[in-house]
Amino acid sequence: MRWRLLSVGVALGLDLLCTGAIGAEESSAPQGRKFAHAHCAGCHAIALGGASPMRAAPTFRMLAERFPVDDLADVLIEGVERRHPAMPDFRLEPDDAADLTAYLKTLKP
């Protein structure tokens, strides 16, 4: 029993050690999807398929294809001003911007 617990502990420790920054980015993508679902999905298609509920709103997969996603975090933190009349002005907290851009990276082809 003691060896079993020790081996589980070692395996978990190695898993945490090996994930590093990539693991942190991957783990923030689900948070970014939740954020997008709560704050963006009313107008934008946030998944790999489908059209945006609001015609003027680009799909997230299109944003992921056309813009350097790594640069979007800074833009989201500085604030986005209206792109069309229904688009709200907003600024994201750095953690939310990082999560959202991590999610957008999952949509890149």
Give the model's confidence band at 19: pLDDT under 50 very low, under 70 low, under 90 confident, else very high.
very low
What pTM value is reported for the model? 0.72
CA distance 86 to 98: 24
Q: For the stretch 24-56, what's the b/e string if a residue is b when 16 or more beta carbons lie within 10 angstroms of its beta carbon?
A: ebeebbebbbebbeebbbebbbbeeeeebeeee
Length of the chain, in residues: 109
In the DSSP assignment, the letter for residue 49 is S
> What digits encode the pLDDT tens for the residues 36-81?
999 999 999 999 999 999 998 999 999 999 989 988 888 888 888 7
Fold classification of 28-106 is Cytochrome Bc1 Complex; Chain D, domain 2 (1.10.760)
**Quick one: pLDDT at residue 109?**
83
